[in-house]
Amino acid sequence: MKISDLLNPAAVVADIESREKVKVLAELTDALIAGDNSLQKDDVMQVLQERERLGSTGIGDGVAIPHGKLKGIPELMLAFGRSRGGVDFDSMDGKPAHLFFLLIAPEESVGVHLKTLARISKLLKDSAVRQKLLNATDQDDLYQIIVAEEGQG
């Protein structure tokens, strides 16, 4: 399954305002659940924070992929956000995170969850893609870059 199949354009945040890890998770969660009122913010935040306690999802190079599994959702859900100023996300390289993919998967999901994480990692491993996303003008531009770059991968 492609990232663009899972990412609702409305769940793209062009300018994350928060400067703290937990608040960034909340802002991305708000974007994720805006289009799906079956999700409860507290439930999503709980699984994300539990995952962060196991180890930061800041993978380095200005990228973080907060993720978790939630009971009762039918399919994977994604949100994307960009912070121009960067956020201390306890990343492996110690640098601030600027680009965020939030992934929530069904509790019983294994293969698709891991494949989606791998797709996201592959997409954002490319420094040219990261730079395009950092330079994007708005929400639509960010979404179109993700769709176009994934199609080339």
Radius of gyration from C-alpha coordinates of the chain: 14
Residue 64: which CATH number?
3.40.930.10
SS (H, E, C) 80-140: EEEEEEEECCCCCCCCCEEEEEEEEEECCCCHHHHHHHHHHHHHHHCHHHHHHHHHCCCHH
Q: Is the pLDDT of residue 128 over 80?
A: yes
CA distances from 36 to 14, 16, 39, 90, 128 (A): 20, 20, 6, 29, 32
pLDDT in tens, 75-122: 999 999 999 999 999 999 999 999 999 999 999 988 888 999 999 999
- Catalytic residue numbers read 67
| CA–CA dist 104, 95 (Å, integer) | 24
State the total domains in the chain: 1
Domain holding 133, by residue range, is 3-152
Residues composing the chain: 153
pLDDT in tens, 16-69: 999 999 999 999 999 999 877 788 999 999 999 999 999 999 999 999 999 999
